[in-house]
Copies of this chain bind each other. A is one copy, B any other.
Amino acid sequence: MEFNSSIVEKAVDALASFPGVGKRTALRMVMYLLKRPGNEVAGLADALLKLKTELQLCTMCGNVSDAPLCSICSNARRNTASICVVEDFSDQMAVEGTGQFQGVYHILGGLIAPIDGVGPDQLSIANLVQRVSDGGVTEVILAFSATVEGDTTMFYIAKKLRDFPVKISCIARGIAIGGELEYADEITLGRSIMNRTEYRV
């Protein structure tokens, strides 16, 4: 691509650094911005800047937050005895979106992935162990993706918490709701048979 303007080129390059955004998509984004009023573009730039300058991490759970303590950790109606451990804040939002969990969260900031050079020390695991050892916690729910990294992290945390008087559980793996048995992979189907639950009418 040959640009007629270095300003356009820099904006395209900056937008193309987003994962999944190529130069063509970035160019389309720039064309869109050129047609928008100045204050809207300024608002976008400001919103992105604030992610780095104003956003905080909750001192309790590590979630993104506007205040030192996030809105969930500071909510007196949440059950602090139950901690749901997730990889990052988008997973926290997914769990929260189900409306099935009334406890609090703990955000690890990633999963153990030796291939990517991510070890337990880079994650917020020590903080989790501290929260449990501080007492008052009765259950820790491990809600990770069903990947090698998720399983490794699950194993590591379960081992770390083994000696505490706390129930450790992991979210159910199985056939997705609406999923057809015929098309389910063998491992998922195998796990769903192994972990079958009693069905009462």
Q: How far is the CB of A79 from chain B (nearest CB, A)?
A: 17
A63 within 8 A of B: yes
A3 neighbours in B (Cβ, 8 Å) = 93
A88 within 8 A of B: yes
Cα of A102 to Cα of B64 in the assembled complex, Å: 53
A43 neighbours in B (Cβ, 8 Å) = 14
Interface residues of A in 27-57 (CB under 8 A from B): 27-34, 38, 40-55
Q: Bin chain A's interface residue count.
A: 35 or more
A148 within 8 A of B: no
Of the listed residues A40, A43, A64, A97, the one surrounded by the most CB atoms of chain B closer than 10 A to its CB is A64
Cα of A46 to Cα of B70 in the assembled complex, Å: 29
Copies of this chain in its oligomeric complex: 2
Choose, from A5-13, A135-143, A168-176, A188-196, the stretch at the interface: A5-13
Cα of A121 to Cα of B55 in the assembled complex, Å: 46
User: A48 is contacted by which of B17, B45, B88 (Cβ under 8 Å)?
Assistant: B45
A15 neighbours in B (Cβ, 8 Å) = 44, 48
Choose, from A18-26, A157-165, A178-186, the stretch at the interface: A18-26
| A51 close to B11 (CB less than 8 A) | yes
Q: How far is the CB of A195 from chain B (nearest CB, A)?
A: 29
A residues bordering B, Cβ < 8 Å? 1-8, 10-11, 13-15, 17-21, 25, 27-34, 38, 40-55, 58, 63-66, 70-72, 88-90, 92-93, 96-97
